[in-house]
Amino acid sequence: MIRDLMSGVGGSVSIPMTSFTAILEKEGDLYVALCPELDAASQGNSPEEATANLREAVELFLECAGPAEVPRGAFEVETRSADHGRSKRE
């Protein structure tokens, strides 16, 4: 779950605390985590590893992104299991 990302990342660019969507799906032996707002994805051997890797990818994106590239507003966190097709919202 991508929540409460750092304020002030990207040098002089101030980005307020924002939540982004993290969609977690199992694909074969791996877990894939997606952030649709930023078109970012990562993977891992466990749900926790995939989510941590996605958090790192989002943080790296935000460090390099200009203000126009970062969506504003709050987003829900949703995880989906590809095996069961169920959704869980937090």
Residues 6+ apart with CB under 8 A from 89: 76, 77, 78
pLDDT digits (tens, 9 = 90+) for 29-54: 999 999 998 889 999 999 999 999 99
pLDDT at 82: 57
Both structure tokens of 15: 């980005």
User: At residue 76, does pLDDT exceed 80?
Assistant: no
Architecture of the domain whose range is 1-82: 2-Layer Sandwich (3.30)
Q: Classify residue 89 by burial, with Cβ atoms within 10 Å: 0-12, 13-18, 19+.
A: exposed
